[in-house]
Amino acid sequence: MFKHFNGKVIQVIESLDVYDACSNHVINIDTALQNVFGIESQIYVTHFHPAREKFANHISALDANEEDIIIFHFSGLSEFCADAVIKQNCLKVILYHNITPHYFFDKNSHLYSYCKRGREQLKEIIHHFDFATGVSDYNLKEITELGYNPDKTFKLPIIIDDIDEGNFLEVADSKKDNNILFVGRICENKRQDRLVEAYAKLRKAFPDIGDLILVGGYDSSSTFYKRIVTLIGDLDLKANVHITGKVSQSVLEDHYHNSLCFMCFSEHEGFGVPLLEAALHNIPVLALDAAAVPETLGNSAGIFKDEAELFDKFEKICSDDKFRKALLEHQKRVLHASDYNAWIKIATNFFDKIIGGPDRFKSVSFVICTFNRADYLERCLDYLTRSYNKNFEVIVVNGPSTDDTSSVVERWRDKIIYADNPVRNLSISRNIGSNLASGDIVAFIDDDAMPFYDWCDCILAYYNSSHNFVAGAGGPTYYAGSLQFQAVDILVDSFGSGVSNPEKELYSNPDYHRTLLGTNSSFRRDYLLSVGSFDEEYDYFLDETDVCFRLIKNGYKVQHCANAYLRHEFAQSDNRVSKYKYNWFSIVKNTVYFALRFNEGDKDFIIAQTRKIVERERIAYLESGLRSGEISSADFSSLVKSVWDGFDAGIAAANHPRKLIELAPNNNGWLPFETVSANKSFNKLHIVLVTKEFPPFTKSGGIGTLYYHLASELLLQGHDVTVITQGSEDRIERGNFRLISLAPPECNETYTDSAIANINLSWSLKVAIALDALHEELPISVVDTCLWDAECYAFLQVKNELNIPLVVRLVTPLIVADETNGWNMPAIDRNLLVGFERAMVQSADAVVPISQSIQNTFTKRYGIEADERFNIINAGIAYWPSYDVSRGYNDISHFPELVNAKQQGKMIYLFLGRLEKRKGIDVFIKAISQFNHRYPEKTNDVMFVLAGNDGVGVNALLDEHLNGQQDNILLLGEVSDWDREKLYAFCDVVVFPSRYESFGLVPLEAFVHGKPVIGSSEGAIPEVVLDEQCGLIFDDGSEVELAEKMARLCKNNALYEMLSLGAKARVKYLSSNRSALQSEELYNRLILGIKSL
């Protein structure tokens, strides 16, 4: 019934006893939770009876998850459990059984103190609970009188034992004693004194009645007990009134059997279980009209207001057969309304209220608020088309953009809901999107983010499996250009200071609440509406945090959906230009506004505290930039002024009402977004990539780059990805991504006469052992590795036993590398290593050449025919640039010659890579000489830039071929990865004269930025650079033809624009996304035993 619920229901009670109504209720609920509702349940207590040991966990071990629900049974002063429950970070429900008012008892008694403190404690703790239940409406009335919201209450009565219909068959019993029975502890509120007095009078009026039996525990030292004993003696009833104390269940059954009626003078009952137990034994119940008694008995005819009415009704049950039968029939109806089956129906309504059904949320509205990020917006929409779930719509709120965003929107116009925002205010855009939304859930994603393919599935699944108090949820967010998290989870205090990925202890700190990263946040639309959506005072920064705090303040939960992943570019914007140049005015203004909204007390004190925070977190940060020379004095002064202007603006804003909205009913209709993967049956795999190179965790290289991009896309597809690499011993786990770094082997074993072969064999053995261990931990679906170094050679011996398919990617084989690089390897080394490569290919379940060229080369040189196992899948990279916002996208001022050349309108030709003959640097330098000689009219229109580590003595080559005429040449040396991206973006043409490439990633990196490539005709380069489409091809080694191609492109705007557009199209075709989709298809075929296309 509620098996979809992702949490546990944890009941907490101070003491779990036997023959106790509250304790029995706990056990009955526990049984129903497991056997009827399908919910995992636990019970935590401070004390327990030995007979209850199997049910009980000690309260000191209570550690609830945020998905859990705690039901705290409160019936008296809680010494330990209340504090333990309040500290828990989960949904907390109080089930109030009632506490007898202390004024019933002697002021000097323990019960007076116990009940008084208990009722005071209820006032203190009630507002720490998210929901309140009571076993009667009478109890709930007490709760609401304490100021608790009646909309968050529910009556959950006591479960009555199974009804034996045989009890209702009246059979004459001559042995029945016709006693009068009362069951309950002897204490003041039960008023056994009034009962004894009434009994004495009844004996005179009805001399044939039996004895008065008082069943229940007592304190023989209490004043009230002594009073009862004295009263019995004074009325000469010692032979007729019996105080039994606590009795066993069988003895109690006998008492019910031998009783004419159950009589109750109790003046305070929160429910009164014995009233229904008596009815269960088919004896009339006569009870005083007080507290919850009439409610428990369904206002039966047995309720009396005074002794006169009692005597009248007693006479009727003795002599009026019609009255007696009607009363018993009424009691029977009350019982059936309170029996187990009836309780299950009531409890179902209760759990439906706090948990809800399994499919109550069916749709999501994804809102993208965009401003001047046309390319990123298009990427975001592209990745949304790959969603496995189609139950979503996309709302784009634009504005006020001045770039090419309108063209992007036009291309997607029939697939999206669109609106303009004329004001640069993110909260206004969010509110526009929320108003247009038709989905049950509204989710916000930034234009520079990419959702995982199962993002929509995870969001819907989380809300549908969570309790009904979840108003918002967000998930872990990777930086788009890395496998590091921007944030997994975030807590924020009332001054807006956040802690990313906090320690567990902080979650129980009442000063902190969860917020959601704006780019990965979702809300129930109805709850978002209920708090007025986004406060439009927040133009940027803390906007979603303010919503989260208001939701929490209104009794809802903002939770963490651990598998709702996406990747976020954290791209440059007008609010975020570089490491120090942020929109400090808005950031600080909104920080002050937030602090004044969510802190109570002296306003001047709050402002002073906020000022200290701003000085510590903002001013000190800018001062560090000034000290390091990363910002100038002028910039520092300007930025600091923005900070304090924002501070004053925040104070002023807080003096005005909030700028909230009422979400309007949506009449736009549902517009489902068109997806390409919605009908695809997703089979989640555990894919293991084995590669010594895996940047940024190891050095960068072609193989490492290939696998980095492949891993990134496989993660986006929703798979588990583990990378086994070489480095310092380490293990990293980030969501579905794991990296196992193994130390290089010590290589003490001598397997062969070749040292290099022994090293490779030792490494492959280490890899095989790691794979075997990993398979035990999380079963491996497929292992994917490159041919280079035969890293999975040892794994070949066990892969069939483990039933794990192996994919081997063909890159440059050793024979070719040896020849191309002029290594002249000893025959023994070469023959062994080539043998390892040949064995890898022969034993692989699938062979993946990364180009047609490399397949042709390998099959020709190794004498292995390309059979059905061969599947060409091009190496791919992300089709968008990767920048670090802290370094600035366009900041290339540290290369002033480049800046100057661009300002002069020169066309920049870039060679980027290691400066060595294998990469054709000599061909490029000779071509520059040819260009300058043959096209003198163009020499002042161009600049040739050489960037990379010098492995050939480039200055000597320049002197040799250019005779000192190097005015249009710039030598930059080796550059950082971030500067590589900037150089690609800054240049006009990339020259790639490499002498051999098994694929060639440099052209793809250039295409990302829309730069045409002039490449050689060798290897796989023509497969990547399509001549006259995205670049130009020249004959390998021909400096004359290369010079001609460079001259042809110089200042030829029409040709340049055509090739630039072709470059962008080509990189999307050869993207890592396409490569990963092809790889996924191959993996699934292998798992199904299908090895051919």
The pLDDT tens digits of the residues spanning 1022-1050 come to 999 999 999 999 999 999 999 999 999 99
Q: Which CATH code for domain 9-155?
A: 3.40.50.2000
Question: Which tokens is 483 given?
Answer: 């496998």
Quick one: 493 exposed, middle or buried, by C-beta within 10 A (0-12, 13-18, 19+)? middle
Which stretches of 825-920 are DSSP H helices? Answer: 827-843, 852-862, 896-903
Largest Cα separation within the chain, whole Å, is 137
**Cα 372 to Cα 456: distance, rounded to the nearest angstrom:** 26
Count Cβ atoms below 10 Å from residue 969 Cβ, excluding itself. 17
List the one residue out of 76, 58, 158 whose CA is nearest residue 125. 76
pLDDT of residue 1092: 42
**Cα 1067 to Cα 1002: distance, rounded to the nearest angstrom:** 11
CB neighbour list of residue 859: distance below 8 Å, 6 or more residues apart: 865, 866
pLDDT band at 198 (very low <50, low <70, confident <90, very high): very high
Beta-bridge partners for 991: 1014
Q: Is the model's pLDDT at 191 over the cut of 60? A: yes
pLDDT band at 30 (very low <50, low <70, confident <90, very high): very high
Q: Which CATH code for domain 165-331?
A: 3.40.50.2000
Question: Which tokens is 156 given?
Answer: 């959950």
Pick the CATH number of 364-653 from 3.90.550.10, 3.10.20.600, 3.40.190.10, 3.20.20.370: 3.90.550.10
Quick one: 407 exposed, middle or buried, by C-beta within 10 A (0-12, 13-18, 19+)? exposed
pLDDT of residue 92: 98
List the one residue out of 414, 432, 442 whose CA is nearest residue 371. 432
* Burial per residue of 639-674, b for 16 or more beta-carbon CB atoms within 10 angstroms, e otherwise: bbebbbebbebbbebbeeeebebebeebeeeebebe
Per residue, the 3-state secondary structure of 385-400, as one string, reads: CCCCCCCEEEEEEECC
* Burial per residue of 1062-1071, b for 16 or more beta-carbon CB atoms within 10 angstroms, e otherwise: bbbbbbbebb
Beta-bridge partners for 449: 568
Contact present, 842 and 864 (Cβ < 8 Å): yes
Q: What is the pLDDT of residues 249-283, one digit of tens each?
A: 899 999 999 999 999 999 999 999 999 999 999 99
Q: Is the model's pLDDT at 130 over the cut of 90? A: yes
**Cα 739 to Cα 724: distance, rounded to the nearest angstrom:** 6
Cα 859 to the center of its chain, rounded Å: 48
Q: Return left, alpha or beta for 920; rule: phi > 0 is left, psi -120 to 50 is alpha, else beta.
A: left
What strands, in cross-sheet order, belong to the sheet with 417-420? 417-420, 392-398, 364-370, 441-444, 521-524, 470-474, 557-560
pLDDT of residue 192: 98
Contact present, 848 and 874 (Cβ < 8 Å): no
Contact present, 417 and 668 (Cβ < 8 Å): yes
**Cα 630 to Cα 636: distance, rounded to the nearest angstrom:** 10
**Cα 1027 to Cα 763: distance, rounded to the nearest angstrom:** 42
Task: Give, for 777, the enclosing helix (H) or strand (E).
Answer: helix 755-777
Q: What is the pLDDT of residues 492-540, one digit of tens each?
A: 999 999 999 999 899 989 999 999 999 999 999 999 999 999 999 999 9
The position carrying tokens 């104070």 is 651
**Can you count the helices (H) and strands (E) in the chain?**
37, 40
Q: What is the pLDDT of residues 651-661, one digit of tens each?
A: 999 999 999 99
**Cα 515 to Cα 68: distance, rounded to the nearest angstrom:** 19
Contact present, 168 and 332 (Cβ < 8 Å): yes
pLDDT of residue 479: 81
What strands, in cross-sheet order, belong to the sheet with 303-304? 241-245, 212-215, 179-183, 259-264, 285-288, 303-304
3-state helix, strand, coil in the chain (%, to 5): 45, 20, 40
pLDDT, mean of residues 95-119: 95
Question: Which tokens is 846 given?
Answer: 């699938």
Q: What is the pLDDT of residues 454-482, one digit of tens each?
A: 999 999 999 999 999 999 999 999 886 67
DSSP classification of residue 917: G
Q: Is the model's pLDDT at 438 over the cut of 60? A: yes
DSSP classification of residue 674: P
Give the percent of the chain with pLDDT over 70: 96
Contact present, 931 and 1047 (Cβ < 8 Å): yes
**Cα 896 to Cα 903: distance, rounded to the nearest angstrom:** 10
Query: Greater confidence, 677 or 318?
Result: 318
Q: Is the model's pLDDT at 1093 over the cut of 60? A: no
Long-range contacts of 1023-1028 (CB under 8 A, 24+ apart): 1023/851, 1023/852, 1023/853, 1023/874, 1023/999, 1024/851, 1024/874, 1024/999, 1024/1000, 1024/1066, 1024/1070, 1025/992, 1025/1000, 1026/1062, 1026/1066, 1028/1059
Query: Greater confidence, 177 or 632?
Result: 632
pLDDT of residue 1091: 41
Phi (first) and psi of residue 780, to 5 degrees: -90, 135
**C-alpha count within 13 angstroms, C-beta hemisphere, residue 44:** 23
Rounded to 10°, the helix 702-716/1072-1087 angle is 70
Q: Which CATH code for domain 686-862?
A: 3.40.50.2000
Task: Give, for 714, the enclosing helix (H) or strand (E).
Answer: helix 702-716
Contact present, 119 and 382 (Cβ < 8 Å): no
pLDDT band at 717 (very low <50, low <70, confident <90, very high): very high
Q: Is the model's pLDDT at 228 over the cut of 80? A: yes
Q: Is the model's pLDDT at 642 over the cut of 90? A: yes
- Angle 607-613-619 from CA coordinates, rounded to 5°: 115
Phi (first) and psi of residue 993, to 5 degrees: -90, 30
Task: Give, for 1089, the enclosing helix (H) or strand (E).
Answer: none
pLDDT, mean of residues 120-127: 97
| CATH class held by domain 887-1070 | alpha beta
List the one residue out of 163, 157, 153, 161 whose CA is nearest residue 343. 157
Q: Is the dihedral of CA 370, 371, 376, 379 positive or negative?
A: positive
List where CATH 3.40.50.2000 sits in the chain: 9-155, 165-331, 686-862, 887-1070
**Cα 558 to Cα 472: distance, rounded to the nearest angstrom:** 5
**Cα 746 to Cα 751: distance, rounded to the nearest angstrom:** 13
Q: Which amino acid is at 234?
A: D
Task: Give, for 41, the enclosing helix (H) or strand (E).
Answer: strand 41-48
pLDDT band at 886 (very low <50, low <70, confident <90, very high): low
The structure's pTM equals 0.90
Beta-bridge partners for 732: 739
